[in-house]
Every structure is written in structure tokens, then in C-alpha cells.
Amino acid sequence: MTTRHVLAGLDGSPRSESAAMWAAAQAQRLGAPLRLLHVWPWLSDENLDRAEPGDLRPAALDALARVADRIRLAHPDLTVETAVRPDDPVDGLVAEAREQELLVLGSRGLGGFAGLLVGSVSLAVAARATVPTVLVREAAAPLPVGNAGTSGEVVVGLDSSEPGEAVLAFAFAEAERRGATLRAVHGWEPLSAWAYGSMMPPPMDIPGQERTEAALLSQHLADHRRRHPDVAIVEDVRLGGGAKALLDAAAAGAELVVIGRRERRHRLGMLLGPVAHAVLHHSTAPVAVVPHP
């Protein structure tokens, strides 16, 4: 049986090193080995006896080794492997992640127009990977392993009409692992007058609609509550769009934000939805993108 690793993609940037350190703490939390991977098209075949002039493989391996040494100092009991792959970065990361437990990548900081540039590779991989993919900001510090009873939260965003069982399962497991509170956030919008066609819409019953949305959220959480009785849960129903609700909830000090990605193929390829885009662009906490049917 193949061992499932936590896979961290490194590109030599400080943000990818931050992601690798976060991945190391997560690997120890999961009891899984860590694999550090650099993917770039212009790397020689690993079977060559000597590097060709201009070959980037030795430099890439040296950079990976330096990060691996830092991780081993912080996590002496963790198994750390390093590897390079000559491939397109997006294709290579997606392919390498298929049989792994989790993929972790770095993402750029935000602010002004730069805040819209999460990183073309990270964004494309998050849209295509078949395993949960976590994007980590450069400044994100991993929590110590065994940090049970922390004051932080795992925040999960839910659509009451399509909650995504895989998303909930991942979020509950992460909250339980960390000893954190799980905050289940559902942002909702009142029924629009356009929904009634040419008819005059009835008066809006905002409190009544909110009670309905809250009841749906509780219903979706019920089975997972029973499976994880030790997880403290906050059911958070907010008037407004899903992205704003999630970002506002996460701003209070989330350890991790969990969002879903429907596995639907568009004519332009696998795409992230608008809520996922907004959260990935603007969340300062690490964001886990969980694919689900």
C-alpha cells in the first residue's frame, strides 16, 4: 500500500517556505510523512550521471535540502523527503498530489491590485487538484502540534443548498485534531423581487428567512456532530454574500478557513467559484480548498 504524504510545493520564494513549515506541522499532526517538491520544466532527467551545463537540478535539490534541514530541527520525529520533477508546475503538482493526503502551497500577500494576484500556479492547482489543497500566506505561522484547547477557530463556509459532505468531514476532522472550535458559516441573501417575475413580491420576512436558513444549517451539521461529539460548534448564519460572511468570520482569528470546490468541468477547464476566488484573494488565514462532487 502506498504511503500517503503531505505534499508541499516549493518554488524558492519565502511564501513557499512558510507553506512548507505549515505543512510540516500539519504532517506531524496527521502522523504522515512530508514530501517537499520542486516542479520546473528545465530540470534534467534524474538518471543522468552528471549535471549538464545550465541544469537547475543541483540548485533545486540544494534549496530543498536547506528547507528540509530547517524542518527536521523543528520536527525531529518527522520523516521528510525531497524530490524534483521536470514538468509544467501546475501539471506536475496536480499529478504528484493525486495519491497524497494533502497539498500545501504558498500564496502571495494582499493589498491593492496585488491582492488580486494569489499566484497563477497556486490558483490553477487549487482549481484542479483532486485532494484538499491548502494555500498559506507568507506570514502565516503554524500552530504547535498538540495545541489542544486553543482559542482559535476552524471556519468552514457552507451553502445550505449544497453543503458538500467532504468539506464538512474535512473541517470537523481539522477542528478535532487541533482542539479548536468549528465555526460553520452560512451567508445568505433575501429572496429577490425578481424571483416573482412580473408579480408584485410579498413583503420580505427577513427574520423568517433567517430562521429557515439556520434550520437548514443545523440539519446539515447534525450527522457530523454525532460523529465528532467533542468538537465545539458555532452555527453562524449571516445576512449577506457567502464571501463576505466567511472573510468577516475568519478575520476574528481563524487558524484555518475551509471552502469547497465543485468538481465540475467548464469548457475552459476546472474553475473556482466566485466565493472561493474572493476568499483565496483576501483571507489572511490559510485556506483549504476541498474538492467535492
pLDDT tens by residue, 84-105: 999 999 999 999 999 999 999 9
CATH code 3.40.50.12370 region(s) in the chain? 153-292
pLDDT score for 239: 83
CATH code 3.40.50.620 region(s) in the chain? 6-137
User: Pairing relation of β-strands 254-262 and 153-157?
Assistant: parallel
Which carries the bigger pLDDT value, residue 71 or residue 117? 71
pLDDT score for 241: 80
> 153-292 has which fold?
Rossmann fold (3.40.50)
pLDDT at 5 over 70: yes
Which carries the bigger pLDDT value, residue 75 or residue 120? 75
Q: How confident is the model at residue 114 (pLDDT cuts 50, 70, 90)?
A: very low
**Across all residues in the chain, what is the average pLDDT?**
83
Which carries the bigger pLDDT value, residue 68 or residue 118? 68
Let me know if domain 6-137 sits in CATH 3.40.50.300: no
Q: What CA–CA distance (Å, rounded) separates 106 from 134?
A: 8
Q: What CA–CA distance (Å, rounded) separates 170 from 37?
A: 24
Q: How many CB atoms lie within 10 A of CB 61?
A: 17
pLDDT score for 18: 92
pLDDT at 45 over 70: no
